[in-house]
Structure formats: structure tokens, C-alpha cells
Amino acid sequence: MTFRTVISLANKVLPVRVLRRNFGKACVYSIPQPAELSDQFDVVNKKSFVDQIGGSKTEVKMVLKLYKMDFSPPVRAVFMVIEALEIPDVEMIDINLFQAEHYKEEYIKINPQHTIPVLIDDDVVICESHAISTYLVDKYGKDDSLYPKDLKKRAMVDQRLFFDSGILFPCARGAGEPLIFRGAKGFSPEIISKITAGYVFAERFLSRSPWLAGDQLTLADICCVSTISSMDIVVPIEEATYPNLYKWFKRCSEFDFYKKKNVPGLEIMRGYVKAKLADGAKEQ
């Protein structure tokens, strides 16, 4: 087998050299990040796809690839799942939304929706954070505690994941995207109202159990806390108003996976929001 060993990507077979040419620049972007971020994952160089070149034998090592931008709430959710599952080898590829790299032809071939995150595992391409998270637990989980195999328990986790997709994330995106990417000067009353409504729903869920989907931490909590921590930048969660949500948020924030994998990207997002609001105030 020669250097032109091929790998399957997005249902299309491409030579390794072509992949390097098309995606080499995607590994660097200009968004400032804490220096420690570079040490937070075992980032695997593209060369690890081929452990040996030449000789009589070439051993191919396939690793997970994650396309991401660190301050994105769905990306941070996947970061936390990877950390919680202790998955060692993940190749991180940055997609700079500010430079519209997600609209490049090469990326759209991978993900026609041009969203992040995207996970590639050998010939499998998964383009949604909840689908990625459930896949990772099913494949790499030491047990099913984060995503139970019991049908009724799993249905409850799924319901909360859909709550995140359908209610919570549109709130976070509706607040952050216009401000960070589209030049808005602040947050609209409508989005503030939607965020508070999301808090009310979560408060009611948490009045029944300490965690969103029952008596133990699940993917529902990991995915939702990434989004809710972003919403908290816009509308802080007050203990007096949302006592159950406040306590849940505090419990989630004490996990190592939250501190290591959510906080750094969250602080990047907080910095963008603060800077954009300050710019808007100057122009008024």
C-alpha cells in the first residue's frame, strides 16, 4: 500500500494528499483563545492516519475528527461528552465562522447544512451535536448511564435533547448570532422573553428530579448546560426566581468536564458579547 492510501470521507473517496490540500488551512483561525486550550485534547496530526510509510507493511490508524469552533455551544457540548467518556484520540479541525469557512465547497461536501460540529469516524459523518453525543456514548461509553438503553429512560433523555434543540438553542443562537456576527447593538426584547420562557420550562422539569432526565446525570444535562450557560450570559439565572435551575446549574459547573471543556469556550463567547455590547453603547 502506498502513500496514496485512500480514506472514505462524506461518502466520497479522496486521496490523503487531496485532503491535506483542501483542509490544511482549516486547522488555524484567528480567534483569540486561552493558551491552555491547545493542551485540552490529544490532538492527532493528520500524519497519524499512516503510521508507517514504505517497507512491506503500512498500518493505518483511524482516529475521530471533529470540525469545531470553540465558543459554539453545540461544540462545547461535544467537547464535554468526549471528556466525560475519556476518548483519547480526537483530531480537532477549526472552522472559522468569521471567515465563512463553513461555506467553502470542501466543507459543504462534508456537511451540506454547513454547521458545526461535525464528527467523522472512519466512513461515518455525523453533523449534529446531539446525534454526535449519543453516537459517542453508544460506541465508547463504559456503561449506559449517560444514555440509558432502557427504552423509557432513553425516551426521557431524548425528550430533553429535543428540548435543547427546539427551545434552548434557538434562544442562545437568537441572542448571540445577531450581536456577534450581524452587527446588532444589543438583545431584542423578544429574545429576552424567549430565554426567560426557556428557564421556566427547565425550572419545571427540575422540580421533579435533580437532573433533567431523572435521578442521575445524563447527556441531557451535558448538552443543555452548554446552551444554558450561554443563555446565562444574556439573562443571568437568579436563585430567587429559578431555585431548581440555579442549583442544577451550580451542580453541573462542579464537574471536571464542565470546567475543562465548557468554561474556556464559554469565556471566549462572554468576551465577544461584552465587546460587542460595548461597541454598541459607544455608537448610541
Residue 190, number of CB atoms within 10 A of its CB: 9
Q: Specify the DSSP class assigned to residue 101.
A: G
Alpha helices (H) along 105-211: 105-110, 129-140, 151-163, 169-181, 189-206
CB 276 within 8 A of CB 180: yes
117 upstream amide cis, omega within 30 of 0? yes
251 in helix, strand or coil? helix
**Could you confirm whether 207 is annotated as catalytic?**
no
In the chain, the N- to C-terminal Cα span, in Å, equals: 64
SS3 of residue 138 by DSSP: helix
Alpha-carbon span 278 to 152, nearest angstrom: 47
- Residue tagged active-site, from 72, 129, 226, 229: 72
What percent of the chain is helix, strand and coil (3-state, nearest 5)? 55, 10, 30
Under 8 Å between Cβ of 113 and 131: no
| Burial of 261: CB neighbours in 10 Å, binned 0-12, 13-18, 19+ | buried
Dihedrals phi, psi of 120, to nearest 5 degrees: -120, 125
Task: Identify the bridge partners of residue 8 per DSSP, sorted by sequence position.
Answer: 13
CA distance 185 to 132: 34
| Rounded distance between C-alpha atoms, residue 222 and residue 151, angstroms | 20
Asked if 74 and 118 touch (Cβ cutoff 8 Å), the reply is no
- Active-site residue list: 72
